[in-house]
Structure 1
Amino acid sequence: MVLRTRNLTKRFGGLVAVDGVDFDLGEECCSLIGPNGAGKTTFFNLLTGVLEPTEGTVEYHDGDDWTDITDHAPYETALSGIHRSYQITNVFETSTVLENVRIAAQAAGGADSWRAWRNVEAFPEYEREARDILDRVDLGEKADRPAEALSHGEKRNLEVGIALAGDPDVILLDEPTAGVSSDGIDDLTDLVDDIAADHAVLLVEHNMDVVMEVSDRIAVLHQGSLIADDDPMAIRNSDRVQEAYLGGYEAGRPTGGEHA
Structure 2
Amino acid sequence: MSATAKTPILELAGLRKSFGRMEIIRGVDLAVVQGERHAIIGPNGAGKSTLFHLVSGHLRPSAGAIRLRGESIEGLPPQSINRRGLSRSFQVTNIFPRLSVWENVRCATLWSLGHRYSFWRDVERLDDVTRRTEEILTEIDLIDRRRTPAGVLTYGEQRALEIGLTIAGHADVLLLDEPTAGMSHAETERVVALIRKVSEKRTLLMIEHDMQVVFDLADRISVLVYGEIIACDTPARIKANAAVQQAYLGTEAA
- Verify same fold: TM over 0.5: yes
> Residue 122 of structure 1: CA displacement?
3.4
User: Aligned residue for 1:56?
Assistant: 64
Aligned match for 2:14, one of 7, 15, 36: 7
Cα deviation code 1:148-206 (max 9, x no counterpart)? 11011100000001011122110000001111111010001111111221100001000
The amino acid that maps onto 2:40 is L
Aligned in 2, Cα 1:150/1:164: closer, same or farther, shift over 3 Å?
same
| 3-state SS, counterpart of residue 2 of structure 1 | strand
Aligned in 2, Cα 1:24/1:35: closer, same or farther, shift over 3 Å?
same
> Residue 118 of structure 1: CA displacement?
6.3
> Residue 47 of structure 1: CA displacement?
0.4
User: Aligned residue for 2:141?
Assistant: 138
Aligned residues: 246
TM-score by length of 2: 0.93
Distance across 2 between alignment mates of 1:169 and 1:59: 15
Aligned in 2, Cα 1:35/1:117: closer, same or farther, shift over 3 Å?
farther
TM-score by length of 1: 0.91
Aligned in 2, Cα 1:99/1:206: closer, same or farther, shift over 3 Å?
same
Contact 1:5-1:23 at 8 Å conserved across structures? yes
CA RMSD of aligned residues (A): 1.6
Contact 1:99-1:120 at 8 Å conserved across structures? no
User: Which runs of no fewer than 5 residues in structure 1 stay unpaired?
Assistant: 252-260
- Tell me whether 1:38 sits opposite 2:46 in the alignment: yes
Contact 2:39-2:208 at 8 Å conserved across structures? yes
> Residue 119 of structure 1: CA displacement?
5.0
| 3-state SS, counterpart of residue 83 of structure 2 | helix
User: Which runs of no fewer than 5 residues in structure 2 stay unpaired?
Assistant: 1-7
User: Aligned residue for 2:4?
Assistant: none
> Residue 93 of structure 1: CA displacement?
0.7
Aligned in 2, Cα 1:80/1:36: closer, same or farther, shift over 3 Å?
same
| 3-state SS, counterpart of residue 58 of structure 1 | strand
User: Aligned residue for 1:257?
Assistant: none
Aligned in 2, Cα 1:76/1:236: closer, same or farther, shift over 3 Å?
same
Aligned match for 1:200, one of 193, 198, 203: 203
**Displacement over 3 Å in runs of 4+:** 113-120
Higher mean displacement: 163-172 or 241-250: 241-250
Aligned in 2, Cα 1:228/1:212: closer, same or farther, shift over 3 Å?
same
| 3-state SS, counterpart of residue 91 of structure 2 | coil
Distance across 2 between alignment mates of 1:246 and 1:116: 54
Distance across 2 between alignment mates of 1:250 and 1:20: 27
- Tell me whether 1:105 sits opposite 2:109 in the alignment: yes
Within-5 A mapping of 1:23-172: 23-26=30-33, 27-61=35-69, 66-109=70-113, 111-115=114-118, 120-172=123-175
Distance across 2 between alignment mates of 1:117 and 1:4: 43
